Structure 1
Amino acid sequence: MADKKKILIRIGSLRHGGAEKTLVTFLKNISSDKYEIDLLLNLYSGKYLNDVPKWINIYYLNKGEMITTNRIQDIPQKAFRVIYQEVLKKYPKLLYKYILYNKEYDIEFAAIQGIGEDVLNSPIKNSKKILWVHSDLSNVPEFTNSKIKSFFKFDHILVISDKINQFFLDLASSDDEKNKIVRIINPIDTTEILELSKEKIDMVKDNSIKTFISVGTNLEHKGYDRLVKIHKNLLNKGLIHKILIVGECSDKMKQLINQYKVEKSFILLGYQKNPYPFFELADYYVLSSRIEGYPTVVFEALLLNKFVLATDVSGVRDMIVNGDNGIVVNNTDVDLENAMEYLIKSDIKKADNSSKNLYSLKDSVTTIENLLN
């Protein structure tokens, strides 16, 4: 048997995000016979840690939960983490000597764009370097065109939607750079999702009222703040409905819900280890995002036969056929509100889709493996 490829994969953490979940799904479906993999986390944290196959070695820079507050008692630890990571970023030889123990790698893989610069700074100059871009960077201020163009120093750039693919093609200055861009489909375990969706939960669907559901952490780009305001506007029009949010929500979000006095109809279900059974409580899935890369949750909603309403962000037009399995609207509050009003008044219940028949996890994993090989 040929020698195993030695691979270093880097990502921030394994918290509950699309990029993190996609990476772990990929790792669960590749062979330990072909690869020797080290996974380096900036922060040893997250719901997907236990899902990483045991044969993969996990290393980390810091350990513990992510600190999202600015409480006085948290500042020393928060500052230490930042300074420590910056030192290792500036002097990568220290990282490779004292944490990775002078290992040599055939491939170094940045599993998310935010870690790209770190991988390019690797002291191992002869390794193949691969970047996995999960976001539409066209309107992200910290990713300037010059910073994004530096990504062409990678041997391969994996992109997950047609929109991101075109964005990089437009930035490429040569055929050689264009050939580095590889359009892939994110690995998604459809069998696992369908099985998890059968788990019993305590809540029962209220068939007397139209209900929307959305799943995700309350980050600004998810647009939950505008969803609260739209919800209030629709209630003021006499359009009774409910919105369920599965995922962590900030205190600011909770205050907004209280401010609009919609606590009984805009319901925060909190973080759920298994969100899929909750889809059955809703008539529609709503994606209110301001920006995305490839919102895997839309695919999951379609797989679970939910009709999807989505703002026109990267990736949704790769999945939604307008009118058949969902509606894509301009990324404005007005258009989102009008579409929600239409669905509340409509008889549409389930998506007409064949997502589960069109997708192959094996093909997706094989595409990435071919690059590794």
Structure 2
Amino acid sequence: MKNLLIASFDMEIGGVERSLISMLNNFDNTNYAVDLMLYSHTGELMDLLPKKQNLLRESKSYKTFRMSIGQILKSGNIALASTRLLAKYRASIDDSTEKGYKQMQYMWKYGLPFLPKTEKQYDIAISYLWPHYFVAEKVRAATKIAWIHTDFSTVDTDIEMDIKMWNKFDSIVAVSDACKNAFIEKYPTLAEKVIVIENITSPDVVRTLANEEVENPMLSDFRFKVITVARLSHAKGIDQAIKALKLLKDRGYKDIAWYVVGYGGDEKMLKKLITANHLEDSFILLGKQTNPYPHMKAADLYVQPSRYEGKAVTVGEAQILSKPVLITNYPTASSQIQNGIDGYICKADVNGIADGIEKLYQDNEFRERLATNCTMNNYHNSEELDKLYQLV
């Protein structure tokens, strides 16, 4: 039996975390003894982790990556708090439109000397979420594998730092062909290391959870209901969704309601935008939901208004529930759906989102055809893990 380590950040509600749970549920525990390293044992999805893998004890040092500088200082870890301040300053002077990615890189770069190594020797170590410095620098393993969940052509990273880190890995796994191609375009010297393993989906689990009874205001709302499940962040384009709904209201579509399941740093800004556009009764933030599937099931249309994606887990889950799906034309969109067959791709701006919803609202036959085509697809893909086993 091979010893395998899988590392990620925490189990807060998100697509990456749900895909990790699906992978663990389908993992071959006969031939692999799996240790799971979470930097922080936090998040509503902790209880959904399968018991057949060994969850390692939480490390106080690695937990700091999910803490504020003030919290780190209160914990007494002056060294790591200092590295966080340095990373924040370094990112602030960089010429970057979205500084969060570079700041995360600098946090790890400056923090590495103060972080402990693992004692155990592994046959395989998998880093499931970027940046991958823990597995790259602090884990002893014969084979190291890193995962890509996003479209790297759309994020601003320190490329030289990144390449040094990626070179510590034997293989790099992208969750879609488009995700792989975008990565290779940015890091062409790493092309030979990259393979595609799609996110593992569990259709039976999604359908079962969709039938659970939860508090759901959508059930008593008889308007045309749009649903989005996503982080409240710039990447997910919820601000564009609000403006698109305002545009639809101005066009006379008064009976459309848009619900969003999710949380994130943009919540205050989005609430102000909702108020400014007088959409309090029709653009509704439902917050964190451990089980978003009953809300998906109650909707008439699923919309992903993202600016960029690797491969949105929630889009596939909406299709499993036979929902018509509208997504923006982000760079990897064509790898997510077949346009006009099991979903519809619109322009990636406010007008495009509004036009796409208007088309699907008006064309009931087209909407039903998209949903019917989803029922005919087989979303079971646990065989994707065979590609991983072949790597090792």
Normalised by the length of structure 2, the TM-score is 0.81
Change (3 A) 1:23 1:207: closer
Match status 1:363 vs 2:386 = no
Q: Distance in 2 between matches of 1:172 and 1:288?
A: 27
Aligned pairs for 1:120-159 within 5 A: 120-122=136-138, 124=140, 127-142=142-157, 144=159, 147-148=162-163, 150-159=165-174
Change (3 A) 1:173 1:313: closer
1:291-344 C-alpha deviation (Å, 9 max, x unpaired): 111101111111111111101225432232222222112322222222122223
2:178 to 163, 167, 178: 163
Match status 1:109 vs 2:126 = yes
Match of 2:230 in 1: 216
1:56 to 54, 67, 80: 54
2:293 to 273, 276, 289: 276
Paired residues of 2:7 and 2:37 also in contact (CA < 8 A): yes
Match of 1:290 in 2: 307
Match status 1:39 vs 2:39 = no
- Cα RMSD for the two superposed structures: 2.9
Letter in 2 for 1:290: R
Pairwise CA distance, 1:224: 0.7
Larger mean Cα displacement after TM superposition, 5-14 or 149-158: 149-158
Q: Distance in 1 between matches of 2:218 and 2:350?
A: 30
Match status 1:22 vs 2:16 = no
Larger mean Cα displacement after TM superposition, 244-253 or 74-83: 74-83
Task: Give percent identity, aligned residues only.
Answer: 27
Q: Distance in 1 between matches of 2:169 and 2:375?
A: 32
Pairwise CA distance, 1:367: 2.3
Give the aligned length. 357
1:114-137 C-alpha deviation (Å, 9 max, x unpaired): 2x233222363x621100100001
Paired residues of 2:6 and 2:126 also in contact (CA < 8 A): yes
Letter in 2 for 1:154: F
Normalised by the length of structure 1, the TM-score is 0.85
Gaps of 5+ in 2: 84-106
Paired residues of 1:324 and 1:352 also in contact (CA < 8 A): no
After TM superposition, what 4+ stretches of structure 1 lie above 6 angstroms from structure 2? Answer: none
Change (3 A) 1:262 1:75: farther
Aligned pairs for 1:1-373 within 5 A: 4-54=1-51, 55-62=53-60, 66=66, 76-77=73-74, 80=77, 82=81, 89-91=111-113, 95-96=116-117, 100=118, 102-114=119-131, 116-122=132-138, 124=140, 127-142=142-157, 144=159, 147-148=162-163, 150-170=165-185, 177-201=190-214, 202-203=216-217, 205=219, 209-240=223-254, 241-248=256-263, 250-347=267-364, 348-350=366-368, 351-354=371-374, 357-371=377-391, 373=392
Q: Distance in 2 between matches of 1:317 and 1:352?
A: 20
Change (3 A) 1:280 1:26: closer
Secondary structure (helix, strand or coil) at the match of 1:59 reads coil
Larger mean Cα displacement after TM superposition, 319-328 or 221-230: 319-328
Larger mean Cα displacement after TM superposition, 211-220 or 37-46: 37-46
- Write 1 or 2 for the structure with the bigger share of helix: 2
Paired residues of 1:12 and 1:43 also in contact (CA < 8 A): yes
Secondary structure (helix, strand or coil) at the match of 1:91 reads helix
Gaps of 5+ in 1: none
1:38-65 C-alpha deviation (Å, 9 max, x unpaired): 2222222112222223341323334599
Pairwise CA distance, 1:165: 1.5
Letter in 2 for 1:305: S
Q: Distance in 2 between matches of 1:180 and 1:340?
A: 40
1:201-248 C-alpha deviation (Å, 9 max, x unpaired): 454546853221101221111111111111112112211211011122
